[in-house]
Chain A
Amino acid sequence: MPSSNTFLSFYSLVSSRLQKKNMKILVCISKTPDTTAKIAFTDNNTKFAEAGVQFIINPYDEWYALVRAIQLKEADPSTVLHLINIGPADADPIIRKALALGGDEAIRVNTTSTDDYYIASQIAAIAKENQYDLIFTGKETIDYNGSSIGGMVAELLEMPFISLATQFSLNQNMATVNREIEGGEEVDEVSLPLVVSCQKGMAEQRIPNMRGIMAARTKPLNVREPIEAATLTEIVSFEMPPAKSGVKMIPADQPEELVRLLHEEAKVI
């Protein structure tokens, strides 16, 4: 949409004069199976079957959280932008891909735990150490669908949290954030430091270019060992939903039959 792009670049110009200098931003990046991946389980339904599956940066983290953070850095190059992933070494390719879009360096905390509280504790520990002004997460991971990490990190750091943000702007230390609420939207004002979970509206998807890909190769990817933290939950097994019994086709000239079936058979109207 050209109109919104024009608006964004205009906006970036304005915000460069309003943004705080030397701001530090952290973007949380998770690794998820591609949206079209076949979902199946192994080891007696306790593990996701990874064979043949392509992994990507969780779409909300890439398109919205990361791109919006990159725009803030573009608006003021004194901004420091770090990416973080909590996970084993097989996340490195997607971290490099994220760095190819933008960001100065990445941190990976080396662990295989999938408990939200444990993951949030790792992010919070790094955040405490580096004193970020702003932490962006995606709305949710498309595999676990927790929508939890952002709120947990905020609470661990005793920061305000804006969930499901659709727009974000800065005036020095003050952020103006639009967030989705039931049947509408709310505009909030809140001062940094702050945690924001990002969704559609925050930014537009970008494709990494060759220069970015080359630059990403030499950007630091610091691997850290996890801190002690509790795990409060554990996935004991996975299940597939029961298969649909098959579609019942109704001739286009018999809409009454559809309505009858919905009323008498499916009992939904």
Chain B
Amino acid sequence: MSILIFLDQSEGHIKKSSFEAAAYGSAIAEKMNTSAEGIVFGKTNDELKSLGKYGLKKVHTLEDDRLNNFDDDVFTHLIAEAATSLNATVIIFSNNFNGKAIAPRLSVRLKAGLVTGAVSLPDLSEGFVVKKNVFSGKAFANVSIKSAIKVISLNANAFKPVEKEGDAEVVPISLEIPGSRVKVVKVDKVSGEIPLAEAEIVVSGGRGLKGPENWGIVTDLAKELGAATACSRPVSDSDWRPHHEHVGQTGLAIAPNLYIAIGISGAIQHLAGVNRSKTIVVINKDPEAPFFKAADYGIVGDAFEVVPKITEAVKKMKS
């Protein structure tokens, strides 16, 4: 028996959300008295043995140029083979774009019950019950997985890794790589930016900022905080900001430690994408803005005056 964690990588580096998945899988392994093992495909530049600090005993690697690009078809096949040969009973993914493409496929392949968007460790007192987000962050469901093999995808920032001592053993795994049915013709990535889905701090702007030319106050604060930037739907609909920054019901759902909303009214569809944030700060000139009801800290004021002062104050605090 073992717990298998899919370690997702981008440009040779294991993603932060995979560290969380590794730590989560290790914590489940501890509960179930078994070992947690990771699997990574393609060429990586990271020191994989250091994944031991997230509790992994082993990391299985399959380095092959055909695997540098994610392919749900091929990866499903490989993970299913690995899971069977390692006798894995629980398989863990991050609930990110790749996890969403692959976990459902694997679930069918192994006839393993799937819970996506898990937010805490499973309750093993009566069966195997996983808590997940439902109703776009407005509630949780406790879902019992009844099959022998289980697949879970973990929400970003839902499980904080505690670092441990010890190294993971890095072992190549040999698996036959099937042909791919999907040809990737182009990849466009904004590199250097903090991926919004994984960011711990997010600074977000709404229609209150009046136009794209005013975004400097948002990006300056984000830069000072090491944060990612986001926006409300009308902002991306008007092409003030790129579409991948749109958060909410119809955009990305995020759960950073800190979400700073500037000039956003806090419509229910916007809140649906951000209400799982641990701490919410709202800056709005209208004291009646609905967002204040969902906030932890609020400032009533003109964003153009308040935000640069906050950026200054952060700078001061850091020095």
A interface, CB within 8 angstroms of B? 1, 33, 35-36, 39, 41, 59-60, 63, 116-117, 120, 142-152, 154-156, 160-164, 166, 176, 179-191, 199-201, 230-241, 244-245, 247-252, 255-256, 258-263, 266, 268-269
Contact = CB atoms under 8 A, between A and B. Distances in A.
B182 A163 contact: no
Q: Which secondary structure dominates where chain B touches chain A?
A: mixed
B164 to A, nearest CB: 22
A186 B97 CA distance: 12
B294 A244 contact: yes
Q: Which secondary structure dominates where chain A touches chain B?
A: mixed
B89 interface: no
State the 3 A-B residue pairs at the shortest beta-carbon distance, nearest first. Answer: A151-B104, A252-B301, A232-B113
Given A33-B135, A185-B187, A233-B144, 10 more contacts: A143-B134, A184-B190, A185-B188, A185-B244, A201-B243, A241-B276, A247-B292, A249-B300, A256-B313, A259-B314
B45 interface: no
Given A35-B268, A259-B317, A151 B279 contact: no
Nearest to A124: B108
Given A183-B190, A187-B185, A235-B143, A249 B114 contact: no
A258 B250 contact: no
Contacts of B49: none
A200 B301 contact: no
Contacts of B68: none
Contact of B101 (A163, A231, A240): A163
B197 interface: yes
A252 B305 contact: yes
Given A35-B249, A184-B190, A161 B105 contact: yes
B316 to A, nearest CB: 7
A251 B301 CA distance: 8
Contact of B189 (A181, A188, A255): A181
Contacts of A252: 299-302, 305-306
A152 B139 contact: no
Contacts of A237: 141-142
Given A145-B134, A182-B197, A188-B183, A263 B140 contact: no
B293 A186 contact: no
Interface stretch (B53-61, B70-78, B212-220): B70-78
Interface in B165-213: 181-191, 193, 195-198, 200-201
Contact of B297 (A234, A238, A240, A261): A261
B188 A184 contact: yes
Contacts of B46: none
A249 B295 CA distance: 9
21 contacts: A59-B250, A116-B107, A117-B114, A145-B135, A145-B253, A148-B104, A155-B76, A164-B100, A182-B96, A183-B191, A184-B189, A190-B182, A230-B111, A232-B112, A238-B139, A241-B139, A241-B275, A247-B282, A248-B297, A252-B305, A255-B312
Interface in B238-266: 239, 243-244, 246, 249-251, 253, 257-258
B138 A244 contact: no
A125 to B, nearest CB: 13
B13 to A, nearest CB: 11
Contact of A160 (B73, B129, B144, B201): B73
B298 A247 contact: yes
Given A35-B272, A256-B313, A259-B314, A250 B298 contact: yes
A174 to B, nearest CB: 10
Interface in B34-67: none
A60 B249 CA distance: 10
A201 B147 CA distance: 37
Contacts of A35: 249, 268-269, 272
B23 interface: no
A201 B185 CA distance: 19
B279 A120 contact: no
B135 A143 contact: yes
